[in-house]
Amino acid sequence: MVQKLPLVLIAALMILGLVACDSDDVDDTPPVIEFRSIIPEPGPMEVCGEFDPNAIKIMGGEILAVDALMTDDIALSQLKIDVHPNFDCHGHRTMSTEDWLVLDLVDLEGTEVEEVFELEVPEMVTAGFYHMQFRVVDEAGNSSPATDFWNLHVLNPHDTIKPELSAIDPPTGNNFSVNRGEQVSFQVNISDNKDFDFSNNSRVELTYRRTGSSNFSTATETKLTEAVNEANLTIDFTIPQTLVRDDYLFFLTGYDGVNNESERLVFEVEIN
C-alpha cells in the first residue's frame, strides 16, 4: 500500500522547489569596468596631504580621454560619469571662474561595451583638486566597485603660478595653547604674480581640525579684492566655547584669482 504524504508537507516541498528555481535566476554579479587608457596619464601626486599614486593633472581647455571596457555576465544597463570639485578636501564652492562639473548617464546594452569618453575641461576653469568617478550598473541593479575614481589636479591656463603665503607674526610660534572664548590673531603676508582682483577668487582661509581627525572646519575667510598683488593681513578668530578641549591643527592657506593654492602654514594648537 502506498502511503500518502500530508498536504502540508507537499505544499512545503513545492515552495522550496520554487525558491530554489528563483534563486538560480538572481543576478548578483556586479559588472566590471576595465580602463584601457587614460590621457593625460595618471601619476604620483600629493592630494589633501596624502600620497596618491594615480592622480591626473590637466589644464583648462584640454580633453580628458578615458578608454573604458565595460562587461557583465548577463546585461549592462548604465554608466555614470561624475566629475566634481574637491576644493578644501571636499568642500564645494561657487566661484566666478567655472567649476568643472560632469554628471552623465550613458545607456548601455549587451554584455560588453568599449568606448572612449572625452571630457573637456572649461578653459576658464576654477583651479584645484577634483574627483572623477566611473560606475557601471547592470540590469539587475548591481554596480561596479566604488573604488573606480581618481583625484584630478586641474590648472587654469591663464595662471598656473600659486601665491606665496608667509607668517609675519604668529601668536607664539607654530605651537601654542589658547583657552576657549579667547581670540587668536595671525599676521601674514600674501603675494601673487597677478593682482588679487583677477577673477575675484583671491582670499586667505583659516581652517582647523582635531589632531588625528580628517574633518576640517572653516574658521574664517578674508577676501582680497583690490588691484594689488601683495598684502599684509591680520586674521582674527575667537575659539568657540563649544570646541572640545584637545590638540588641534590650524591651517592658513592663500588662494589667487583662479583658485591656485599656496603652501599651507600649519600651527599646532592646544585648546584648554
* Mean pLDDT within 107-134: 94
3-state helix, strand, coil in the chain (%, to 5): 10, 55, 40
Is residue 86 over pLDDT 90? no
Q: pLDDT, tens digit, for every residue of 54-73?
A: 899 999 999 999 999 999 99
Q: Name residue 71's beta-bridge partners.
A: 32, 112
Looking at residue 90, its pLDDT comes to 47
Reported as a pLDDT band with limits 50, 70 and 90, residue 52 is: confident
Residue 5: closest CA among 21, 20, 14, 19: 14
Looking at residue 92, its pLDDT comes to 43
Number of other CB atoms surrounding residue 150 within 10 Å? 20
Reported as a pLDDT band with limits 50, 70 and 90, residue 143 is: very high
Q: Rounding to the nearest 10 degrees, give the CA dihedral for residues 45, 48, 51, 55.
A: -40
Number of other CB atoms surrounding residue 169 within 10 Å? 11
Q: pLDDT, tens digit, for every residue of 199-243?
A: 879 999 999 999 999 899 999 999 999 999 999 999 999 999 999
* Mean pLDDT within 34-41: 92
Is residue 91 over pLDDT 50? no
For the ranges 18-32, 48-62, 233-247, the maximum mean pLDDT occurs at 233-247
Query: Which pTM was predicted?
Result: 0.74
Which domains can be identified in the chain, with CATH numbers? Answer: 32-155 (2.60.40.10), 164-271 (2.60.40.10)
Quick check: 236 and 184 in contact, CB under 8 A? yes
Is residue 7 over pLDDT 80? no
Mean pLDDT of the chain: 87
Looking at residue 88, its pLDDT comes to 60
Looking at residue 1, its pLDDT comes to 45
Which pairing describes strands 43-47 and 32-39: parallel, antiparallel, or unpaired? unpaired
* Mean pLDDT within 166-191: 88
- Alpha-helix residue ranges (DSSP H) falling in the chain: 7-25
Reported as a pLDDT band with limits 50, 70 and 90, residue 87 is: confident
